[in-house]
Chain A
Amino acid sequence: MKDPNDVILRMVTKVVVVIILTFAVNLFVSGHHHPGGGFIGGLAFVAAIVLLFLVYGIEKVRQNFPVDFKALAGVGVLISVLTGARGMFVGEPFLTQAFGYVHLPLFGKTEMATAVLFDVGVALAVIGTSLTIIMSIGDDR
């Protein structure tokens, strides 16, 4: 069977993946004051990677994005547990969150909380778990 030519799909994907990744980051960082957060940000990231899997195949994406997703899920859970355990070292209960104001060069006075680190852990765990499921289902033949 002749291999179909899907040049339109590839060119559209090159543009759309950038938009989806930008939207995923927007969902992630707006989770403190607006709808969003680590879970749905991670799932939007997974949607972009799945689109790349669909169009370019697993092998080519893994060559250009060589991350072990099982290890990524583990690192995410570790980050979440460690940010929760931070309160225990300074004499506060487990999962106590701290926040403060820092001066960033471009944004000015910005409120930073350790809940962002917890959300990073959640997002990494979601990305690793979802992509592990999808790759282990799509790999068998």
Chain B
Amino acid sequence: MIKGILFWVIFLSLCFSTLSILITIYRCLKGPTASDRVQALDVLGINIIAAVAVFSVFLRTTAFFEVILLIGILSFIGTIAFARFIERGIVIERQHSD
């Protein structure tokens, strides 16, 4: 655990990160089109990465760094899959043209 001014810095960072995640969830629920919701999910993943990084500083451990990379990779692949579904109506193409 961390005491002193660094505790309050991390605490405020986590509070603002939570606020950002809540605003992003609002856009994800309210978004008029599907593209808005997909972009909100991508931003949500990035905010969760930031929150995990700050929280691993709070816990003084390096055990969550793989989680950061893994959330980044999964968010990227999920966004690409949703984008292809919106654009072409199919996620994995059976036969490519070229």
Partners in one complex: yes
Contacts from A to B (Cβ < 8 Å): 3-4, 9, 16, 20, 23, 27, 34-36, 40, 44, 47, 50-51, 53-60, 134, 138-139, 141
CB-based contact A44/B94 at 8 Å: no
Q: Which of A9, A23, A53, A56 contacts B69 (CB 8 A)?
A: A23
Minimum C-beta distance from A58 to chain B (A): 6
Q: A16-B76, A35-B63, A55-B80 are in contact. Are A40 and B92 (CB under 8 A)?
A: no
Minimum C-beta distance from B47 to chain A (A): 21
B74 CB-CB contact with A under 8 Å = yes
CB-based contact A57/B63 at 8 Å: no
Q: A9-B80, A34-B63, A47-B74 are in contact. Are A141 and B94 (CB under 8 A)?
A: yes
CB-based contact A139/B63 at 8 Å: no
Minimum C-beta distance from A81 to chain B (A): 28
Interface residues on B, range: 20 to 34
Q: Residues of B contacting A50 with CB < 8 Å?
A: 77
Q: Residues of A contacting B97 with CB < 8 Å?
A: 3
If over half of B's interface residues share one DSSP class (helix, strand or loop), that class is named, otherwise mixed; here it is helix
Q: Which of A16, A36, A51, A57 contacts B94 (CB 8 A)?
A: A57
CB-based contact B76/A58 at 8 Å: no
CB-based contact B63/A53 at 8 Å: no
Q: A59-B96, A60-B96 are in contact. Are A23 and B73 (CB under 8 A)?
A: yes
If over half of A's interface residues share one DSSP class (helix, strand or loop), that class is named, otherwise mixed; here it is helix
CB-based contact A138/B92 at 8 Å: yes
Give complex CA distance A53, B69 in Å: 21
If A3-B97, A54-B81 are given as contacts, then 20 extra A-B residue pairs at C-beta distance below 8 Å, sorted by A number, are A35-B63, A35-B66, A36-B66, A40-B70, A47-B77, A51-B77, A51-B80, A53-B92, A54-B77, A54-B84, A54-B91, A54-B92, A55-B80, A56-B96, A59-B94, A59-B96, A60-B96, A134-B92, A138-B91, A138-B92
Q: Residues of A contacting B87 with CB < 8 Å?
A: 4
Most buried by B among A4, A9, A35: A35
CB-based contact B95/A59 at 8 Å: yes
